[in-house]
Each structure stands twice: as structure tokens, then as C-alpha cells.
Structure 1
Amino acid sequence: MHLLRAVTVEFGLRQAEFAARNGMHPTDVRALTCLLDAARAAEPATVGLLGTRLGLNSAGTTAVIDRLERLGHVARIRDGHDRRRVLLRVEPEAIRLGREFFGPLTDGVLDVLDSFDPAERDTVHRFLTAARAVFTPEPRP
């Protein structure tokens, strides 16, 4: 548990460093991460989804989106299937900034993972998946 906590603290510090370098709040970085994760999972990145993932009310979520939009990191776009719904898209420049900063860290972690055999990687995956479930609150009805 102490090592997991230490990893999360260090990762949080890197996120804060990235935020400071790019004129963002740490919550903005978490928002970008949530939106990129939604895109990878082919989930519609709505304002509601972002608010839920960040644990923010609607005013807080709007403030984050407004900041990211002003910085050119996020665009609001109309859903092609439901014109009433607004989707959020991370802009290419934000992705480039993220890769530039986090790419070497990601590569380092992948190098470590490559040193593990498939059974070890499966164990790490199972552990992280289970640990995430412990920390993820149950959805409220």
C-alpha cells in the first residue's frame, strides 16, 4: 500500500508540474485525462460524464471546460446523432503537449513492464484493476 501511495503521489506531482508549465490547474489535467480515456474507450465525452468522473458539480465542470477551451485544449462540438448534446474533444495541440511531457515517463513505465513475463504482467493488471475498484465509489442512484 505504501508503494502504491508513493507512486500516486509522484504521478500527482508530475501532473501538477505539467499543469503549472502549461498555465493550467491540476484539475484541468485530470479533465484532459478523463476525456482522452473516454475517447480510447469510444465513450461519448459529454459534460455530464466529465463532471461525474471529476466529482464536480455542473458549475465546476463548466469552469474547467471554459478554462480548457480558452487555452485551446478542448473543443465543444455538437453530437452528430443528437444535435442537442454537446461533446468534448481534446485538441491535437493538447495531445502533443501531453506526449511531449508524459511520453518519456510512459516509455519508462513500459520499459519496466517489458521486463516482466506475461504472467507477471497479468498479475500486475489484475492487482491494479482490483485496486482501482476498491477506490472507485459506487454510482449513486
Structure 2
Amino acid sequence: MEVKVVSAITLEILKDLLQLEYQNKYYDIHNDYNCARISYLEKKLFLFLEKIDASASMIILFNQVDLVVFNTYPTKDNGTIDSFYRGRTFMNEALVEETEDEKGYFYLEFYEGQKIEFWAKSLEIQESPK
């Protein structure tokens, strides 16, 4: 299967990304998936998600990432993502929604309060049936 890379700045500002369509398939990240693991390596941020019914897993991969906030800790919760969107942030005393090198700013928050904020150039989804 060919993986489609989506430019971050093409995603609508403040649009809820918990329910999204990608390559003609609908994903409900909040209700159908738990985040099993998060990895950051060589400017790539990986969200490893497991379907609640254990029928599939997927990875949301962000490319050319600059982490701004990474506040996470162990929890009893199964990694429910509560908020996920591309937004705006203050940079050099101005409210901005993208950088000159076409990175978008993302907010990712979990049910128990952990959060990650970052700039990313693009994202892609890789799905694996179990």
C-alpha cells in the first residue's frame, strides 16, 4: 500500500484531528484507539496506536519535528488521546500558524493531562491489521 504524506500546513487550523479521513478511510482516534507508545527519533515523532478491540494497530508519523512541550508521565489510563489539532502559537511576540519552512504547530493532549506541542512538516498514517 502506498502511504500518502500530508503536508502539515494543508490541515485546517483548529480542526479536530481525532476523527479524520486519510486515504479514503475514516479513523476515530479518541474512541477506537489507545496510544500504546510515543517515540521521538531523528526529528520524527511516532504515535503507536492500538485499536481498542485489538483488531488493528497504526502509527501516526510526523516528519521534521521540533518538540516544544513534552509533558508526559506513567498513568493507569490506556493512553486515550483527548485533544489533537493543528493550531497557532506565539513566536517572536506574534501569533503564527506556520513557519517559513512550512511547518505546522500541533497540540496533542491525553485524557489524564499529558501533552505534547510541536512543529512538524508533514504526517502520514501506517496501518497494520492484526
TM-score exceeds 0.5: no
Normalising TM by the smaller chain, what interval?
Answer: under 0.3
Q: Which has the higher contact order (CA 8 A, sep 6+)?
A: 2
Higher helix share: 1
TM-score, with normalisation over the residues of structure 1? 0.23
Higher radius of gyration, 1 or 2: 1
